[in-house]
Structure 1
Amino acid sequence: MHGRRFLAALALLLVQPPAPLQATAPDAVPNPTALQGTFGKQDPETFQTPPAVHHPQTWFHFIGGNVAKEGVTADLEAIAAAGISGVQFFHGQFGGPWPGVDPQIQCLSEPWDDMVQHVASECRRLGLRFTIQNCPGWAMAGGPWITPDKAMRHLVWSRTDLADRPTDTIALPQPQPSQEDWRDYRDLFVVAFPTPAGDTGKALTPAEVRSNRDDLPWTQCLQAAGDGRITLQPADEPVWVEVTFETPTLLRTVELPSVQSFNHNWCYEPGVTVTVEALLPDGPQTIAHQQMPQSNWQGNRPISLACDEITAEKFRITIEHLHTMTLAYIQLFSGARKNNWEAEAAFVLRGLDQIEHPDQSETAWINPDSILDLSDQLDAQGNLQWDAPSGHWTILRWGHVNSGKRNGPAPPEGTGWECDKLSPTGAETHFAGYVGRLAEGPIGNGLLHGMLLDSWECETQTWTPGLDREFAARRAYELRPWLPALAGFVIEHPETTTRFLRDWRSTINDLLVQNFFGRMAELGHEQGLAIAFETASGDVFPGDLLEYYKHADVPMCEFWHPRMDSFVGSFNFKPIKPCVSAARMYGKPRVAAEAFTSFDLSWTEHPGMLKPIADMHLAEGVTHLVFHTYTHNPRTDFLPPGTAFGSNIGTPFLRQQTWWKAMPEFTDYLARCSFMLERGHPVSDVLWYIGDEQDHKPLQDAPFPVGYRYDYCNPDALLHRLAVQDGRIVTPEGIAYELLWLPNNRRMLPETLERLVTLVEAGAVIVGDRPVGLATLTGGARAQARFDRAVHALWGDTTSDAPRKVGLGSVLAGITIEEALATRAIQPDVQGTGVVWSHRRTTGADWYFVAAPTQPFNGDLTFRATGTVELWDPMTGRTAPAQVREQDPSGTTLHLDLPAAGSLFVVFHKNALPSQAPAATREQTRSIALNGPWHLAFPAGW
């Protein structure tokens, strides 16, 4: 925040407390029709004094039983006076009772219901929106009303191997991960198949181990039941370990621990490369070379690396790593497993392979015609009645169990199982147990305005009752013959298995989107609630990055401080672009963000420190802030600055903060930015298609041409929400894109390709190379024929990279996106560095948000816009004519002088006179000489 302005405002507000906001709570989002109207004289007036709907909100946390009505009233009055427009209510748990807080309130009790009603009633009195997190705690959706059978469920299996066994009764182990009753094990299927060549299911044990780091416990690390945890520091040379077997040994698979366990802070960009070599008499032969894929902070499953098949006595594993990493074990197997199958089978979110399949013998894979369904031959005691044919057979007994995930951190009496996310029954039971009960009871009659689905911290889910039927209905083939692929086995060929696993992930995504996010939104809407979702799929859960957001009224992301290259301060760990893109693809006018979360609470935080963090994310597409957090202070006689949210978490937005009376200047600033960043449409040149394979999100710092903006597009939006107008791809709301980019289209669906043909023939321009194959097993030969026809229509018969005309549009292959922009003569939207920016437009005007978050900026910027230019200052609400250095039909060059943490809007009026709002003036400051004695005092108790 500009320092002199902030201090001047503070001095004024200390003697003149601001009036609270209007007594009517604002809507969840601004009126879309008004946002898209012609830019005119009302805009500078609204900019100067934005309505409450544009003001930020805050999270409001009860902690344990430390609650009192007097404190609630004091808190909410302070929130309203600060220019905050609403609260999102949570009940969390850290520690025990606080001093002087008695009695303690039990979550979900009658006194608690009364207290929540008091919060809602006070919000109504003060004109604040009241939104509630959908369960106690902040993660994710569960409570004591969820029984194990309606909890999140996981597939589990056990393996039994037979070798010419004569008996026809076989005891199959129950695949139970642990023995607690709450696991609620249920049997599903039994399948059997001839054991693939060399596949014992047991890890290989080398006879000898050596390394260029012999000081580390490599022998224990490589033992099947070893405990040789190794820590590797970054070094000039890679670390290698060499294993020797007593006799020549076949190696097909290397298993490593979860990618996130290497270094949790860098789980989204691990910086680890693993190379496996066979050391042969004529020299080393590389049989696997892989960069570890991006993972996620809850990604706890191992990773399997598929190797070219080879027999040797010695192998070497080389590890290159950019960061300190921990390696708990390495296991080697002769059996073949699908590369990274744990991710492809949706047990964990990790980036998917863009590598060639390993060179292995077909005998290492399962012939699909040989798989037998023996499910009806298993009795209730786990005995299989089967007269097994001669030979070696592998039997897999499949079941499902409660995953064991609970909501939290919540008071014990408010804690229970996470609800089933793939069945509508899970959502219905959960909604009825908490939000539904409250909305029809203590906070009914319009007291409750919204429902939030906050942090996804419950990992993944791979089963719900009836999932096999859902799979068959949606994919048009049966699941059971493909079950071994969900345990990592390769069926028929790695490419065939890849396609099945994509169909599996897509089915899970469909159920998550429809039965959890969609059903929760329906239930909320039936109660008249506005629905907000935070990030889930493509961040922790393996699914479509954007699609679930279509059911939200307010898509929501989060950002933390301080900014850093890794962990929670990085865009890869806490992404913004998927949420922003979802809002744009699905016509949502608002992108909210949980703002200023932190693990570094120091009590030195203040608005001037937070503003540049906000500006960075406003430039990325966030339009509305929700502060993390305001922790309820039950006492009105407590020493300032008040109560902390945990010991070191969050930013303390509290009524007793030294800077609280100056908060209206900060919230006014954010409201002005929100108004301008929700007005009109965003301007981006490139629509980045994320592909048909349900992959991880792209790296958020992936190289992209400077001076341009892009948004992501997913299959659902491509198929159902895009059209072509004047050669550009447009959404129904009018957002337009010059190019559709296909950077990751190795495998595609026939319906995607057919839609691309339609768009290109209507005038669209796409940038991308031809795909190499189908992404699905659905449709068989007919799908392959559709795929071939569409690929031919778009890319033709040759491999030429020349631009190809297709109908009114064209296809650009064999070039980068930067080259494509140059080929189409699309000039940068902003030329110049040292600032962050975003661009919006409506009839009558273009405007750019420009900020210098960390360093002062004094230089020229060229904007791809023309017209009468003004500078609008969101700190003050004032507008002033800009000094134009140069303007021609291609754009306008201005010289801007911004202090560190400075920001402004550059507004281009089209065929209109500039606004008549008061011109911006530089405020004068003066110094006061302290020639005589002076005294600095602090309040008692500091």
Structure 2
Amino acid sequence: MLERRRFLSGVGGSCAGFSLGPSGQYVLTAATTGHTPSGYWQDIADGFRAPPGVMRPWVVWFWVNGNVTPDGVTADLEAMRKVGVGGVQIMNVDPGVPAGDAQFGTELWHDLFDHTVREAARLGMQIEMSDSDGWTGSAGPWITPDLAMKKVVWSSQSLPADGRTELSQPTTVQGFYRDIAILAVPASIAASSIIPDLKFKAGFSTSVMADGYDRFIPPIPLEPMQAPQDVCLPLSAVKDVTRYYVNGVLDWRPDGKEQWRILRFGYTTTGRTNHPASKGGLGLECDKLSRRAIQAHLKAFFGKIVERNKKYVPDVLTAAHIDSWEVGPQNWTDGFEAQFQRLRGYDLLPWLPALAGWVVNDTSRTERFLWDFRKTISDLVIENYAEEATRVLEGMGVGLSIEAYDADPTEQLVYAAQATIPQAEFWYGRDFFKDIYRSWDWVAAMTSSAHVYGRTRVAAEAFTAMPDERWLAHPATMKPLADWAFSTGVNHLIIHRYAMQPWPDLAPGMTMGAWGCHYERTQTWWSYSGPWHGYLTRCHYMLQQGKPVADLLYLTPEGAPSRFVGRDVDIRSPSPPLEGIYRYDGCPAQALTSRVSVQDGRLTLPDGKTYFALVLPEYGSNMRGVGMMTPETLARILELVEQGMTLIGAPPERSPSLSQYPKCDVRLAELVTALWGTGGRDQTDRRVGRGRVVSGVAAEEVLRREGVAPSFTAPDRTLFHSAHRRLQDGTDIFFVANRTDRPVHAVCSFRARGKCEVWEPEAGTRRVGVVARGNGDQSMVSLALDAHESVFVVFPQRGASSLPTSPASMLEGAPPIAIEGPWRVEFISGRGAPQSALFPTLQSWSENHDPAIKYYAGEARYTGYVDIPAGRLTERAPVILDLGDVCVVAQVFLNGQSAGIVWKPPFVIDIGRFVKEGRNEVSVVVANLWPNRLIGDETLPDDAVWEDATFGPFSGFGKKLVRWPAWLEQKTARTSGREAFATWKLWSTHDRLLKSGLLGPVLLRSGYGQNQMENPEYTPF
């Protein structure tokens, strides 16, 4: 893999205290700033308070089937920028919405894209563009069959006695077919059902494709079995008779009386196209094993948009994006046999019958060939698709992001490493812990690849949702999942999704079908999302500083397909998944051999990250590929151990490959003896050179015995998520998030020493942390966090700054003052509700007798009053307004001045700067969610035509529009009485209304300083 310059994901050149680092992100370094360590530290603190724009979250911005307008583009981007969204990842799709005028690839579409780039530049925003229509891969109408993905096909027939026959052509797709070889095998040995019928582990596999169907043969069977000798095809019996095939006729007269079957092997296209693509962008997926194919593809599409927007590259138009691998398998390309020879060192043609079901020589050697076959496919995807795409795009001046998890044919950590920015994905739903289970491996793989290959930014497609989201998501429900992602190593969220809104006055408007969280300017709470985006921005900033700290490096099994599985997740367990006691990264053999060295007994990467030990795959854990290792990899492990590395794990048993067989197994056995001695798989703890080899003991136990303390621990592992990073000056930064929906108070252990500060990313404030006690490299810190609150605990190398502590009293300890009403409530005009109403007491809008309020969706201003007697206020002490229950977000005004926005429980805010003795006007603007209005509209006549929705293999997810309604196309008045309009119908009159509005009780009460809390032991309160 080439080490190459990485392109920035930032606007403009460098900003104060920042420079363009080798992984293409803005990083802050003392060398760059020229500051002293104290100046460096001040830059970090200033950056936390007001992070640079490059740290803002992005959205996946879907342009839906040509429904794009210049006014809509401008309105969307301005709305994003106003609330702190820093960039967009554009995807052009057709999820089943009626077509608009700006079809993909037309001159109008390109004009609108150019307009988008100019507007993004004006607003200081950034753009990534998917590298083709849809989200599946790299495809388009310019991809001809010879440039498309390819598969092996074959036909089989008996050789006549006279040795002359016309050969039937194997399956041909889209008129494209090329021969590979004509082979003859003894007719007495039939294709065996042994191989395809073995009980293989379900899951990831690369197809070996037969005529008309896909045959999946994973790398290793769970129950190895030898095929009977009479069904095994000796390699020496395979005859290459290709030279006897001329002009469609085979003329081969073998010696002897043996009867023969003729196998005609060739290749055709897989026929896979991109999805969900619009008509203008629909086409064949390009050949992922061919440099020529990806070059042609990028030139045809991305090259055109770059050429039209050169002046904005790479500051605004920063990168192309390849999304998740949904293109199916591929197992051939032009010249594959030569590439196989180069990479594996032997001729694959005699082994081709194994692809058609024959057991060649024996089961073991057939499996070894299939391992080599898959590994070659993976290598070519990485070299000729991902790496070549990056090279071509760098030539255009832009970078590349790839969602490389679940990339079926590949070693996914190596595939991810070719990207400028590796991108993970995590899903949002009604069950938080199921969301984590669904996404754990995707995130673990991408963060591990980024850490091992030295990428600073780890992006994630965030909060992708099934149709049951139905406009129910909002920042408070999203934050717990974001905090989990941050704890895993993700440090840049690209929120899924924002559907481009082409209309100025329709809401909630365009959807991306039924999929994803509804995250548009038409959302009821959109105008109040700024603090949420500010929180994410500060988290991004802090989590891109320094380097991640981890103790263990887990070697992933060699071969393909290969992925890294999060070590601490059992998806069968009903309990929530927990982070490991010790932090770890996955590491492929490619990175181990090319990037890892040993310094002072620790595994060390070129960017300075270190690990205590290398851990081998766990045998017997149902991870495929365990028990096998190539001698080349084990030889590198021996070198590292001799240089001082600690190795943990049992020895491999054999090489997985047919290369240099059987010498490979002999060499492997010699290396095993050198490392583990003659004890084999027995418990071992032995010195080898300057290093150490341990087996039969869990990695975590080895670290405990060596006195290596965990990076972070709490009295109860279910309480917190955490992450640990270290700055170049030795400062330790810990992200700690309360993963529960209740306040918690605990004394936690941090692997750091000295005084600490607590940095609060919601407000951008800092305060002194309470170090209860220190013990060597460990510090015990008292933490009190509200429900789902998160903080950064920072241990400055030069000692904590002089920071104020929070006052611990206000209102002189008086009992809370209730603000009971009556409340005057004003509603937004044009949404069907009355201009105002008087609420004697607080109640949910859904319980109101007036249907216009009952079904209302949007914002409403509550106004009430509270009297504070003279002498009750303490100068500069916090005065807390507690709103009680809010559905779902609110902005508070005191005496006409904005005190701020509250967007998650507890809905409390300090109004000390604005409150006065005597009468105070309290105004609270509350926004609810869309469902009540959508349910209410279903009680009225319909004014659009709908049909049951299907999406690929999915159905039953609501109803979609058949065509644009006449009132919309003709721009006439809407007479149905409906207030809302959306392109997908997900609610009905049978659904229950949601609680909405300010529910209270509203109290004015005394507050506390969290750092002043007593009882430093764990206490729920």
Question: Per the alignment, in what secondary structure is the counterpart of residue 774 of structure 1?
Answer: coil
Kept after mapping to 2: 8 A contact 1:690/1:712: yes
The match for 2:552 among 669, 672, 686 is 686
1:883 and 2:770 correspond: yes
Question: Per the alignment, in what secondary structure is the counterpart of residue 156 of structure 1?
Answer: strand
Kept after mapping to 1: 8 A contact 2:441/2:564: no
Alpha-carbon distance between aligned partners in 2 of 1:776 and 1:565, rounded to the nearest angstrom: 42
1:441 and 2:314 correspond: no
After superposition, the Cα gap between the structure-2 partners of 1:442 and 1:802, relative to the gap in structure 1 and judged at 3 Å, is: closer
Alignment of 1:430-509 (within 5 A): 430-441=297-308, 446=313, 448-509=317-378
Partner of 1:934: 824
After superposition, the Cα gap between the structure-2 partners of 1:854 and 1:545, relative to the gap in structure 1 and judged at 3 Å, is: same
Alpha-carbon distance between aligned partners in 1 of 2:276 and 2:490, rounded to the nearest angstrom: 27
Residues 489-519 of structure 1: per-residue CA shift (max 9 Å, x gap): 2222222222222221221111111111111
Partner of 1:6: none
Larger Rg: 2
Displacement after TM superposition at 1:931 (Å): 3.9
Displacement after TM superposition at 1:752 (Å): 0.8
Kept after mapping to 1: 8 A contact 2:227/2:359: no
Question: Per the alignment, in what secondary structure is the counterpart of residue 868 of structure 1?
Answer: coil
Partner of 1:862: 749
Question: Per the alignment, in what secondary structure is the counterpart of residue 477 of structure 2?
Answer: helix
Partner of 2:457: 590
After superposing the two structures, state which structure 1 stretch, 774-783 or 448-457, moved more.
774-783
After superposition, the Cα gap between the structure-2 partners of 1:567 and 1:467, relative to the gap in structure 1 and judged at 3 Å, is: farther
1:915 and 2:801 correspond: yes
Alpha-carbon distance between aligned partners in 1 of 2:84 and 2:509, rounded to the nearest angstrom: 20
The match for 2:696 among 814, 832, 857 is 814
Alpha-carbon distance between aligned partners in 2 of 1:797 and 1:457, rounded to the nearest angstrom: 47
Question: Per the alignment, in what secondary structure is the counterpart of residue 461 of structure 2?
Answer: strand
Displacement after TM superposition at 1:754 (Å): 1.3
Displacement after TM superposition at 1:922 (Å): 8.3
Kept after mapping to 1: 8 A contact 2:57/2:492: yes
Alpha-carbon distance between aligned partners in 2 of 1:821 and 1:872, rounded to the nearest angstrom: 30
Gaps (5+ residues) in structure 2? Answer: 1-9, 571-577, 619-625, 832-978, 980-1021
Gaps (5+ residues) in structure 1? Answer: 1-20, 204-251, 256-287, 304-328, 330-340, 345-349
Question: Per the alignment, in what secondary structure is the counterpart of residue 340 of structure 2?
Answer: helix
After superposition, the Cα gap between the structure-2 partners of 1:410 and 1:854, relative to the gap in structure 1 and judged at 3 Å, is: farther
Partner of 1:336: none
Partner of 1:123: 120
Residues 362-411 of structure 1: per-residue CA shift (max 9 Å, x gap): 22211111111122223443656444753454432111111111112121
The match for 2:137 among 137, 140, 148 is 140
Partner of 1:707: 581
After superposition, the Cα gap between the structure-2 partners of 1:132 and 1:936, relative to the gap in structure 1 and judged at 3 Å, is: same
1:764 and 2:642 correspond: no
The match for 1:841 among 726, 734, 741 is 726
Alpha-carbon distance between aligned partners in 2 of 1:660 and 1:23, rounded to the nearest angstrom: 28
Kept after mapping to 2: 8 A contact 1:166/1:388: no
Partner of 2:610: 736
Alpha-carbon distance between aligned partners in 1 of 2:804 and 2:465, rounded to the nearest angstrom: 39
After superposition, the Cα gap between the structure-2 partners of 1:355 and 1:922, relative to the gap in structure 1 and judged at 3 Å, is: farther
Kept after mapping to 2: 8 A contact 1:559/1:574: no
**Residue type of the partner of 1:184?**
F
Partner of 1:517: 386
Partner of 2:845: none
Alpha-carbon distance between aligned partners in 2 of 1:568 and 1:404, rounded to the nearest angstrom: 33
Alpha-carbon distance between aligned partners in 1 of 2:30 and 2:583, rounded to the nearest angstrom: 21
Kept after mapping to 1: 8 A contact 2:642/2:688: yes
Partner of 2:162: 167
1:111 and 2:121 correspond: no
Question: Per the alignment, in what secondary structure is the counterpart of residue 746 of structure 2?
Answer: strand
**Residue type of the partner of 1:714?**
P
After superposition, the Cα gap between the structure-2 partners of 1:153 and 1:566, relative to the gap in structure 1 and judged at 3 Å, is: farther
After superposition, the Cα gap between the structure-2 partners of 1:565 and 1:196, relative to the gap in structure 1 and judged at 3 Å, is: farther
Alignment of 1:167-566 (within 5 A): 167-176=162-171, 182-195=174-187, 199=190, 252=194, 255=197, 292-295=201-204, 342-344=215-217, 352-353=219-220, 355=222, 357-381=224-248, 383=250, 385-387=252-254, 389-441=256-308, 446=313, 448-536=317-405, 539-562=406-429
After superposition, the Cα gap between the structure-2 partners of 1:420 and 1:444, relative to the gap in structure 1 and judged at 3 Å, is: farther
Structure with larger RCO (C-alpha < 8 A, sep 6+)? 1
After superposition, the Cα gap between the structure-2 partners of 1:603 and 1:564, relative to the gap in structure 1 and judged at 3 Å, is: closer
Displacement after TM superposition at 1:908 (Å): 1.8
Alpha-carbon distance between aligned partners in 1 of 2:236 and 2:559, rounded to the nearest angstrom: 26
Kept after mapping to 2: 8 A contact 1:157/1:397: yes
Residues 569-593 of structure 1: per-residue CA shift (max 9 Å, x gap): 6345861011101111111001001
Alpha-carbon distance between aligned partners in 2 of 1:36 and 1:507, rounded to the nearest angstrom: 43
Alpha-carbon distance between aligned partners in 2 of 1:921 and 1:195, rounded to the nearest angstrom: 90
Alpha-carbon distance between aligned partners in 1 of 2:593 and 2:11, rounded to the nearest angstrom: 43
Alignment of 1:734-813 (within 5 A): 734-744=608-618, 745-780=626-661, 783-799=664-680, 800-813=682-695
| Residues matched between the structures, number | 781
**Residue type of the partner of 2:595?**
R
**Residue type of the partner of 1:78?**
A
Question: Per the alignment, in what secondary structure is the counterpart of residue 131 of structure 1?
Answer: strand
Question: Per the alignment, in what secondary structure is the counterpart of residue 493 of structure 2?
Answer: strand
After superposition, the Cα gap between the structure-2 partners of 1:903 and 1:803, relative to the gap in structure 1 and judged at 3 Å, is: same
Residues 412-431 of structure 1: per-residue CA shift (max 9 Å, x gap): 11110000110101111100
Question: Per the alignment, in what secondary structure is the counterpart of residue 40 of structure 1?
Answer: helix
Partner of 1:676: 542
Alpha-carbon distance between aligned partners in 1 of 2:362 and 2:644, rounded to the nearest angstrom: 39
Kept after mapping to 2: 8 A contact 1:35/1:678: no
Kept after mapping to 1: 8 A contact 2:200/2:223: no
Displacement after TM superposition at 1:932 (Å): 3.5
1:852 and 2:738 correspond: yes
Question: Per the alignment, in what secondary structure is the counterpart of residue 271 of structure 2?
Answer: coil
Displacement after TM superposition at 1:461 (Å): 0.9
Displacement after TM superposition at 1:49 (Å): 0.9
- TM-score, length-normalised on structure 2? 0.72
After superposition, the Cα gap between the structure-2 partners of 1:356 and 1:649, relative to the gap in structure 1 and judged at 3 Å, is: closer
**Residue type of the partner of 2:541?**
F
After superposition, the Cα gap between the structure-2 partners of 1:790 and 1:885, relative to the gap in structure 1 and judged at 3 Å, is: same
Alpha-carbon distance between aligned partners in 2 of 1:766 and 1:71, rounded to the nearest angstrom: 58
Displacement after TM superposition at 1:652 (Å): 1.9
After superposition, the Cα gap between the structure-2 partners of 1:504 and 1:87, relative to the gap in structure 1 and judged at 3 Å, is: same
Partner of 1:625: 493
Partner of 1:720: 594
**Residue type of the partner of 2:497?**
T
After superposition, the Cα gap between the structure-2 partners of 1:899 and 1:528, relative to the gap in structure 1 and judged at 3 Å, is: same
Kept after mapping to 2: 8 A contact 1:161/1:393: yes
Alpha-carbon distance between aligned partners in 1 of 2:336 and 2:424, rounded to the nearest angstrom: 30
Displacement after TM superposition at 1:474 (Å): 1.7
Kept after mapping to 2: 8 A contact 1:30/1:54: no
After superposing the two structures, state which structure 1 stretch, 88-97 or 923-932, moved more.
923-932
Displacement after TM superposition at 1:886 (Å): 2.7
Alpha-carbon distance between aligned partners in 1 of 2:433 and 2:562, rounded to the nearest angstrom: 18
Alpha-carbon distance between aligned partners in 2 of 1:923 and 1:759, rounded to the nearest angstrom: 59
Alpha-carbon distance between aligned partners in 2 of 1:924 and 1:610, rounded to the nearest angstrom: 32
Residues 39-95 of structure 1: per-residue CA shift (max 9 Å, x gap): 623222211111111111112221112111111111111111111111122211133
After superposing the two structures, state which structure 1 stretch, 63-72 or 415-424, moved more.
63-72
Instruction: Please tell me the root mean square deviation across aligned C-alpha atoms, in Å.
Output: 3.0
1:610 and 2:478 correspond: yes
Alpha-carbon distance between aligned partners in 2 of 1:478 and 1:554, rounded to the nearest angstrom: 37
Kept after mapping to 2: 8 A contact 1:878/1:920: no
Partner of 2:29: 34
Alpha-carbon distance between aligned partners in 1 of 2:523 and 2:824, rounded to the nearest angstrom: 25
Question: Per the alignment, in what secondary structure is the counterpart of residue 651 of structure 2?
Answer: coil
